Amino acid sequence: MFKKLRENKFLFEELVKRDFKKKYTRTVLGVFWSLLSPLLQLLVMSLVFKQFFGRNTPHYTIYLFCGTLLFNWYKEATKGGMAALVSNANIFTKVNVPKYLFLLSKNIQAFINFILTLVIFAIFLAFDKIVPTWRFVLLIYPIICLIFFNIGVGMVLSALNVFFRDIAYLYDIFCMLLSYLSAIFYSIDRFDESVQRYFMLNPMYCYISYFREVVIDASIPGPYHHALCAGFALVMIIIGAWTYRHYNQKFLYYL
């Protein structure tokens, strides 16, 4: 894989540049929308949910920001990845290039937007008087896991989108349901302990709660939490790689 990436380095770089520029074409603020959009979303969610769910939650704005930050990254990366093959069919049906290049370029674009939003996140931490500790280095772990998880999910979705175009509409509904199940704006403490353990079966909640535990609680998640984060990423990247390898030749007949 890495060898082919080096061989197609120029194409990959151009794909990343194209996707990044295309997103902000004919916009006044351009790349600043990467910063403004999550801020506006955070503002709206904070105004709506703080009175109902945030009264007993310390640092509720940061609690909310952690959830929206990671979930928006996941949603952007996977939705972009889902359309990667269909939107670039005119290229790889004429030129023999690795098809995963198009999906990876979408993930790179989403990751750049995530990094830009982290700058705003750091500013909010300062306003909320949360002092970064050495434990913040551990945030690299869920970020790396989520990178591979996003790529794996994107591979599966992009393959499904080739054969079933309805998947794009169904995935919007799925993302809405997933966001409600990821405890973005509420705390799972309101549920019984027997119910709380089931939240860890949700990969997005697993990554979000890791972030919150390090940032807000200034503590280190346990070994089980680390194992779940890595496990979800590993399973999805394996499924995604198998899907691309198994259906690689069939993509051309449906595009």
Which among 61-70, 109-118, 167-176, 228-237 has the top mean pLDDT? 228-237
- pLDDT score for 48: 67
Task: Read off the amino acid at residue 172.
Answer: D
Question: How distant is the alpha carbon of residue 164 from its chain centre?
Answer: 23
DSSP string, 54-109: STTSTTHHHHHHHHHHHHHHHHHHHHHHHTHHHHTHHHHTTS---THHHHHHHHHH
What percentage of the chain reaches a pLDDT higher than 70?
79
DSSP string, 110-168: HHHHHHHHHHHHHHHHHHTT----GGGGGGHHHHHHHHHHHHHHHHHHHHHHHH-TTHH
Length of the chain: 255
Question: How distant is the alpha carbon of residue 200 from its chain centre?
Answer: 17
Q: At 32, give phi and psi (nearest 5°).
A: -65, -15
pLDDT digits (tens, 9 = 90+) for 164-178: 888 888 999 999 999
Check residues 24 and 241 and name the one with the higher pLDDT: 241
Q: Is the pLDDT of residue 53 over 80?
A: no
Provide the token pair at 191: 């549920």
Q: Give exposure, 127-140, as e/b (b: 16+ Cβ within 10 Å).
A: ebebeeeeeeebee
> What's the rounded Cα separation, in Å, for the pair 55 and 254?
52
> What's the rounded Cα separation, in Å, for the pair 96 and 38?
38
Return the H-helix or E-strand segment holding 36.
helix 33-53
Provide the token pair at 35: 């910063």
Which among 105-109, 144-148, 167-171, 247-251 has the top mean pLDDT? 144-148
